[in-house]
Structure 1
Amino acid sequence: MKGWTFKTIVQGSSVPQVFIPKLIALWQAGRFPIDKLIRTYPLAEINAAFDDSKSGRTIKPVVLF
């Protein structure tokens, strides 16, 4: 049986006060394409989110509750 593990990882080992403003600045400059990296899914489509992540259809699936 295959199991899933969920881990909360927030920005790796970066300093949020530095990292988040830097990401925002990159996004504002058009150098960080967050819109191309994420895709949102309603909770009812959580299996599709897993499938899309596994197949590479999306980099970062975000499930909305």
Structure 2
Amino acid sequence: MGIEVAGLGGLILLILNIWAIVSIVGSGASTGSKVLWILFVLILPLIGFIVWLIAGPRGGARAAV
């Protein structure tokens, strides 16, 4: 049972990280900022996603703070 739960958690994290990367690429941030955010999310998947969710660049229609 534990393996299935861990596998499901990993799949959810993968989907969330893909969503974060797509959102980063579509944001209005500079190219260098996008690259740094993507690397951060890829290298530290869980922590990177949480930090991106709180402080990352937002969608293209919104101005970056």
Normalised by the length of structure 1, the TM-score is: 0.30
Structure with the higher fraction of residues in helix conformation: 2
Larger Rg: 1
**Which one has a larger percent strand, Structure 1 or Structure 2?**
1
For CA contacts below 8 A with separation 6 or more, give which structure has more relative contact order: 2
TM-score for both structures, normalised by structure 2: 0.30
